[in-house]
Amino acid sequence: MAGKSSNLNKLKQTDQRLIALLSDRLSLLAASELPTLEEQITDVAPLLAQTGLPESIWAGVVNSCHATLTPDSTSINLVRPRQITIIGGGGRMGRLFQEQLSLEGHNVSILEHEDWEYADQLLGKAELVLISVPIEQTVDVIKRAAQYIAPTTALCDITSIKTAPTQAMLEHHSGPVMGLHPMFGPRIKSFCRQKVVVCPGRNDDSFQWLLDFIKIKGGEIIFCTPEEHDQMMIIIQATQHFLRFSLGVFLMQARIDIERSLSISTPSYRQEIDIVKRLFSQSPYLCVDIMLATEDRCEAISSLARTYSRLAKLVEKKDRAALIQEFECTQRFWAEKIDHFLQPLPTISQNDCNLEFEPQLHTEVHR
């Protein structure tokens, strides 16, 4: 008992020091130009690693201080609670949004495949309907949900393709429409330093409170058209899936001792293997669907495979001159970009790499 009492006293004293330090931190931030959220986190990354303190804890401190000092940061707390329904909210990404929005005082309901008999209640009175279902089901779910949604209800999806879902929402729902693509995995603890792609559709003002919520939590909003988004995701997601998928299959077939290879590896190799391991820790159905989501993605992957094949034939023939020519030609393309990109390799954190390839993990919502 004496030991417990002593620890409690030490905890209280530590808390008092922490509170005083946080007060000092807020005063310093308020009295000067605010560093960016990323700067406030990356500047102390070595110290965090040295002390073994998880980055997520420090990110939470930085995010909370930022929210306190941001002029509009009180707006969310002053906004009346919203009635929100997440279709597919039992999935991991849907559950993340459900938890985050509920913490802000909003009333969040979940609609899963067994709940459609209650769609009138769950969708008819909602102010925001958020669709978080597998890619191949998204358009059909939009069509079905639109039958129950009021014209004033804001409708958005968080699928990793945007053109078809946005078109479907605009076609089948007369009210506010917006497409979102969270560029992070569902295991994050904070929106701090996370990107969300926003594709405006109709009546954008109806979503301002939601975008403000993400920004105040430290997230970065990136606007683009659905078409631009999908073109960029061909390279950012689909071909990267295929690259790492192919490497993983190759290493498996070659029976490589991964642990041994890591013990004598370069930083870039360790980084690559970490990403491959994370890819293969996910659902195979989900990962394959990302590659097969659109014809454009399939064609890009086929084109990449043809490039591999062409270069491999040069290697097979030991055509040194042709390989050097390929390198030099590509080198000229990258010449203006190399200095910008040749930065020291960062340490990959759980948040940075977790589900890099597919930010959404959904549950199935059957038609």
Neighbours of 201 (CB within 10 A): 23
The strands making up 128-131's β-sheet, listed across from edge to edge, are 107-111, 83-87, 128-131, 154-157, 177-182, 195-202, 220-223
pLDDT band at 2 (very low <50, low <70, confident <90, very high): low
What pLDDT score does 295 carry? 95
pLDDT, tens only, 102-153? 988 899 999 999 999 999 999 999 999 999 999 999 999 999 999 999 999 9
CATH number belonging to the domain at 81-228, selected among 3.30.1780.10, 3.30.70.20, 3.40.50.720, 3.10.20.30: 3.40.50.720
What pLDDT score does 114 carry? 93
Name the nearest CA neighbour of 100 among 121, 122, 130. 130
CA distances in angstroms from 165 to 12, 177, 338, listed in the order given: 52, 10, 36
What pLDDT score does 169 carry? 98
Q: Is the pLDDT of residue 168 over 70?
A: yes
Least confident of 44-58, 220-234, 284-298: 44-58
CATH number belonging to the domain at 234-353, selected among 3.90.850.10, 1.10.3660.10, 3.40.50.1970, 3.30.420.40: 1.10.3660.10
pLDDT, tens only, 201-251? 999 999 999 999 999 888 899 999 999 999 999 999 999 999 999 999 999
Average of per-residue pLDDT values in the chain: 86
Place of tokens 């399939």: 298
Alpha carbon of residue 301 to chain centroid: 22
Name the nearest CA neighbour of 351 among 62, 147, 59. 59
- Residue pair 125/325 in contact (Cβ under 8 Å)? The answer is no
Percent of the chain at pLDDT > 90 equals: 59
The pair of three-digit structure tokens given for residue 272, joined into one six-digit string: 């690559």
What pLDDT score does 226 carry? 97
Instruction: Please give the backbone phi and psi of residue 83, each rounded to the nearest 5 degrees, phi first.
Output: -90, 115
More confident residue, 35 or 305: 305
What pLDDT score does 227 carry? 97
Q: Is the pLDDT of residue 85 over 50?
A: yes
Q: Is the pLDDT of residue 59 over 50?
A: yes
What pLDDT score does 341 carry? 57
Q: Is the pLDDT of residue 367 over 50?
A: no
